[in-house]
Amino acid sequence: MSADDRFLHEDNVAAIFAPLQFRHLEVKNRLFRSNLSGMFDDYNGHGGNARLNWEEKFAEGGVACIISSYTPVAVRGRILTRYAMIDDDDKIPFWRAVGERVHRHDCKFLMQLSHSGRQQDLGGVENIYKRGLSSTDKDDYFHGLPAQAMTRDEIAEVVEQFAQGARRARAAGLDGVELHGANGYLITQFLSSGINDRNDDYGGSIENRARFVLEIVRAIRREVGRDFHLQMKVNAVDHNDWLYPWIAKGNDLDDTLKICRILIDGGDGVDAFHVSSGSTFPHPRNPPGDLPLRDVVRWYDGMLSQGTRTRFNYAIFSNPVLSRFFLWYWRWRRGSVIEGINVAYSKAIAEAVRAVDPSVKVLCTGGFQHADAIAGAIRDGACDGVAIGRPLIANNDLPLILERSNGPASGKECTYCNKCLLNDLENPLGCYELSRYDGATFDEKYDRMIAEVMSVFSPPTFH
Ligand SMILES: Cc1cc2nc3c(=O)[nH]c(=O)nc-3n(C[C@H](O)[C@H](O)[C@H](O)COP(=O)(O)O)c2cc1C
Ligand code: SF4
């Protein structure tokens, strides 16, 4: 490293490894493990040993805080089976064990309280004959997953499920909760002008569309008080029309700024925002990267009977010409910037919320794996910290790498191929990018990859 490079690196390290003080939570640096769902648990929503091992990998690797994977507040709000839930007090002991494992490494743990609404990929046998609860009766536009507009009683029931989820997270000794208000799940379905077509108090104006989540925030505060960390993952922009330009655009940045101001709720509401974008999951902007066509064809088949559009999508994905066109279109809609894809949005949100209440912090997600990009975003005021997903799957010890260099060695970076995402529909979560693994032959690389993916089951439940 030249003297200039060393100076720059020290500057980056100072920005990234400075502690971050939220209103009621302090973390040791600016690196958060973003939400990463994997099917590690029991079918009935009780947590498993693999999840303990999984979360500990990142805590050991040096992140300041882990934001959990999608944690359903009710069975009806599940997106896939075998995710640990928080729908009952009987789940508290498991989450206490997760918190204790992670805390051993001076790492905090936030639980992402979630409800699928209509965006339920494989909801399991309990949900098979039910339409997904939503703000609308319209099917989801991507897979055609069926929806049912919620009644007032159902809204009140789900608000309470979120509140009880937060109470349980606090009882488990966790450090806070995050509302999954982004990427097309139930809270987005209420917030988005492109999805919410109600004509009662929960639809129409921004204030009405935000009523559902504001009721959740207030119910959570009633249960856990003001001193328990509460943040929300938001879509800065919905880009609801990015796959099908003829449908409504959904929320723009101005709408989101108004929603954020509402959720600060005069200082009694949320403590931080976690900025993402895209009103469905996946979306060309989230997780920003590629569509691994071979994996799409191999693993999307499990969803064929789920939605009215899944067979149509599958026909496109498995057609050699149409799939190439779809891939080209997906990449074009994503754009050329992957690392820091949400930075400009995050900056607008950070400036707006600081103007209302400087104690509210902002995290940004999307592609971060290099010190200069992370430190640049923090120094520029675009965010107070970054939430990293796939680059941490690829390199669990990314924080340690960033302490000594600008990023992973050549050939070891996350390639943003999204093979982890597609495999996640049926296989254990892990990095499935063969090119990242050492070996002289395909078989050697493949064996190393499988060994790494399977390492989450070690140590095993029974010794
Ligand atoms: C396999 C996988 C699972 C994910 N699960 C969740 C989730 O449960 N909740 C959520 O809010 N985001 C989820 N995400 C999105 C990530 O948290 C993150 O915001 C996104 O991937 C962009 O960050 P990255 O480029 O660092 O991966 C997931 C992403 C991947 C690849
Ligand atoms: S499979 Fe590996 S390299 Fe590809 S996006 Fe996922 S973590 Fe990154």
Query: Residue 12 pLDDT more than 90?
Result: yes
The pLDDT value given to residue 223: 98
Helix pair 3-16, 371-379: axis angle to 10 deg: 60
Helix pair 152-171, 92-103: axis angle to 10 deg: 50
Give the containing element (helix H, strand E) for 388.
strand 385-388
Residue from 32, 33, 37, 234 whose mutation best tests the ligand 1 pocket (most atoms within 8 A of CB):
37
76 Cβ partners below 8 Å, 6+ apart? 115, 123, 126, 127, 130, 133
The pLDDT value given to residue 310: 93
Would you say the CB of residue 394 lies under 6 angstroms from ligand 2?
yes
Distance from the alpha carbon of residue 272 to the mean position of ligand 2, in angstroms:
28
**Ligand 1 atom nearest to 274, measured from its CA:** 19
Residue from 31, 36, 423 whose mutation best tests the ligand 1 pocket (most atoms within 8 A of CB):
36
The pLDDT value given to residue 264: 97
Confidence tier at 2 by pLDDT (50, 70, 90): confident
Confidence tier at 61 by pLDDT (50, 70, 90): very high
The pLDDT value given to residue 130: 92
Which residue carries 């093979």 as its tokens? 419
Query: Residue 1 pLDDT more than 80?
Result: no
Give the containing element (helix H, strand E) for 442.
helix 442-454
Confidence tier at 302 by pLDDT (50, 70, 90): confident
CATH assignment of 3-138+150-290+337-412, among 3.40.640.10, 3.30.830.10, 3.90.79.10, 3.20.20.70:
3.20.20.70
The pLDDT value given to residue 345: 98
pLDDT digits (tens, 9 = 90+) for 367-381: 999 999 999 999 999
The pLDDT value given to residue 297: 87
The pLDDT value given to residue 22: 98
Tell me which of 121-135, 226-240, 440-454 is least confident: 121-135
Query: Residue 246 pLDDT more than 90?
Result: yes
Give how far Cα 376 sits from Cα of 370, 380, 381, Å. 10, 6, 9
> For 425, which DSSP code?
T
Query: Residue 6 pLDDT more than 90?
Result: no
Q: What is the largest CA-CA distance in the chain?
A: 65
pLDDT digits (tens, 9 = 90+) for 116-143: 999 999 999 999 899 999 999 999 999 9
pLDDT digits (tens, 9 = 90+) for 149-183: 999 999 999 999 999 999 999 999 999 999 999 99
CA distance 195 to 303: 22
**Ligand 2 atom nearest to 394, measured from its CA:** 7
Would you say the CB of residue 420 lies under 6 angstroms from ligand 1?
yes
CA distance 362 to 315: 41
The pLDDT value given to residue 409: 97
Contact yes or no for 148/186 (Cβ under 8 A)? no
Distance from the alpha carbon of residue 287 to the mean position of ligand 1, in angstroms:
6
Confidence tier at 462 by pLDDT (50, 70, 90): confident
- How many other C-beta atoms can be found within 10 angstroms of the C-beta atom of residue 119? 27
Contact yes or no for 153/172 (Cβ under 8 A)? no
Region 253-271: mean pLDDT is: 97
CA distance 211 to 25: 27
Active site residues: 185
Would you say the CB of residue 70 lies under 6 angstroms from ligand 1?
yes
Query: Residue 463 pLDDT more than 80?
Result: no
> For 455, which DSSP code?
G
The pLDDT value given to residue 298: 85
DSSP letters for 17-40 = TS-EE-SS-EESSSEEEPP-----
The pLDDT value given to residue 196: 98
Query: Residue 301 pLDDT more than 90?
Result: no
Query: Residue 290 pLDDT more than 90?
Result: yes
Beta bridge partners of 179: 113, 232
User: What's the token pair of residue 337?
Assistant: 């910037």
DSSP letters for 112-130 = EEE--TT--SS--TTTTTS
The pLDDT value given to residue 3: 83
CA distance 28 to 381: 19
Residue from 37, 291, 415, 456 whose mutation best tests the ligand 2 pocket (most atoms within 8 A of CB):
415
Using only the alpha carbons of the chain, give its radius of gyration. 21
DSSP letters for 165-215 = HHHHHHHTT-SEEEEEESTTSHHHHHH-TTT----STTSSSHHHHTHHHHH
Would you say the CB of residue 415 lies under 6 angstroms from ligand 2?
yes
Would you say the CB of residue 180 lies under 6 angstroms from ligand 1?
yes
Query: Residue 17 pLDDT more than 80?
Result: yes
Region 428-446: mean pLDDT is: 97
Expressed in angstroms, the distance from the first to the final Cα of the chain is 46
Strand-pair category, 20-21 with 26-27: antiparallel
Contact yes or no for 412/395 (Cβ under 8 A)? yes
pLDDT digits (tens, 9 = 90+) for 206-216: 999 999 999 99
Would you say the CB of residue 389 lies under 6 angstroms from ligand 1?
yes
284 CB-side CA count, 13 A: 20
Region 389-394: mean pLDDT is: 98
CA distance 131 to 140: 11
